[in-house]
A = this chain, B = another copy of it.
């Protein structure tokens, strides 16, 4: 294969696709990136970690069609340092791919593309389920929930987010056994989807998505895979198998204490308390709710932090303790809106919703206090 292009375009496409390179793998061929020319004289760059596959197109001028595999990270790093200008990519002379750009010439031994596991692509499959969403909405759904995805692999399904669309509501749900984050948006009642998407894929999709409300994205599910295309990049991922937890069941239906508070102010207080909590090694932050305010405290052997923030309280007063990370993650995702917090007892979950909408729901399990 032989093509010419602008080195900047090549570097940009390559750096997008190489996000799917595996960090560690036992399948050595996945450390390679597949370059191939297509019928439209575009270059297609494919990387995969075995679960997530990304294929990015790059506009080039093809002199001779073909394909090859090159070591992914090395190619990406060398390309990033190329001069800016016209570059030539050529595998026709020998067993090395030769990249020439201005006075620079790099040769890298390539391998035949037949060794690479070729992915099934979006155009190859018939949609079993499909929805279309604004890019900005999907990005927000991912950013507002994915922090609550489980880190450990004990229950594999919890290392993904549930994307569910039914009855005119699209929901993204993440939970790890200690906290849960839900982002909801009203959509067309025709949009039907139920898929548990791995966290890594969501992170890469969020990176590609624009904040533009006008631009749409199609999510297609078929044969246990999810397919989507953002601009010139196709993202394909294996879905998590099995049924997600019935998350509606675990949200308390009633409350005994309600506190309306500014999420930004509360978040600042929790951040300061977290430093002392970390010194104390228990990572505990305590909330004392009542008398028109929430008092946030944390302590350790060497001192304590005491913070007060005004709140509109209804119902009984309550003292409750949380792992500071879970409270902090939830509050940071809320963008400083006014929130409503619901409590029952000091050992049952706290629910956090917006004071004026139903856009999100956070739920956090408290830590049982001694004495």
* Residues of A in contact with B (beta carbons under 8 Å apart): 71, 74, 77-78, 81-83, 96, 103-109, 268-269, 271-272, 275-276, 279, 301-309
Taking a contact as CB atoms under 8 Å apart, the answer to whether B304 and A107 are in contact is yes
CA distance A108 to B78 in the complex (A): 51
Q: Nearest chain-B residue to A310 (Cβ)? A: B103
Given known A-B contacts A81-B268, A271-B81, A108 and B307 have beta carbons under 8 A apart: no
Interface-centre pick from A108, A272, A276 (highest chain B CB count, 10 A): A272
Q: Which of B83, B271, B303 contacts A106 (CB 8 A)?
A: B303
Q: Which of B77, B82, B275 contacts A81 (CB 8 A)?
A: B275
Interface-centre pick from A74, A82, A106, A107 (highest chain B CB count, 10 A): A106
Taking a contact as CB atoms under 8 Å apart, the answer to whether B306 and A106 are in contact is yes
Taking a contact as CB atoms under 8 Å apart, the answer to whether A104 and B305 are in contact is yes
Taking a contact as CB atoms under 8 Å apart, the answer to whether A81 and B272 are in contact is yes
Residues of B within 8 A of A74 (CB): 275-276, 279, 302
Q: Which of B77, B81, B275 contacts A78 (CB 8 A)?
A: B275
Taking a contact as CB atoms under 8 Å apart, the answer to whether B275 and A305 are in contact is no
Residues of B within 8 A of A307 (CB): 103-105
CA distance A305 to B82 in the complex (A): 11
Residues of B within 8 A of A96 (CB): 303
Give 15 CB contacts A-B under 8 Å: A74-B279, A77-B275, A78-B275, A78-B305, A82-B272, A103-B307, A104-B308, A105-B305, A105-B306, A105-B307, A106-B303, A106-B304, A106-B305, A109-B301, A109-B303
CA distance A34 to B268 in the complex (A): 27
CA distance A303 to B269 in the complex (A): 55
CA distance A308 to B103 in the complex (A): 5
Q: Nearest chain-B residue to A274 (Cβ)? A: B81
The smallest C-beta distance from A276 to any residue of chain B, in angstroms, reads 7
Taking a contact as CB atoms under 8 Å apart, the answer to whether A78 and B268 are in contact is no
The smallest C-beta distance from A120 to any residue of chain B, in angstroms, reads 30
Q: Which of B71, B83, B106 contacts A268 (CB 8 A)?
A: B83
Residues of B within 8 A of A71 (CB): 302
CA distance A106 to B272 in the complex (A): 9
Residues of B within 8 A of A103 (CB): 269, 307-309
CA distance A106 to B296 in the complex (A): 11
The smallest C-beta distance from A351 to any residue of chain B, in angstroms, reads 25
Residues of B within 8 A of A268 (CB): 81, 83
Residues of B within 8 A of A82 (CB): 272
CA distance A106 to B308 in the complex (A): 11
Taking a contact as CB atoms under 8 Å apart, the answer to whether A108 and B303 are in contact is yes
Taking a contact as CB atoms under 8 Å apart, the answer to whether B276 and A78 are in contact is yes
Q: With A71-B302, A105-B307 given, can you name 14 additional A-B contacts, CB distance below 8 Å?
A: A74-B276, A74-B302, A78-B276, A103-B309, A104-B269, A104-B272, A104-B305, A104-B306, A104-B307, A106-B272, A106-B305, A107-B304, A108-B302, A109-B301
Residues of B within 8 A of A108 (CB): 302-303
The smallest C-beta distance from A307 to any residue of chain B, in angstroms, reads 5
Residues of B within 8 A of A306 (CB): 104-107
Residues of B within 8 A of A279 (CB): 74
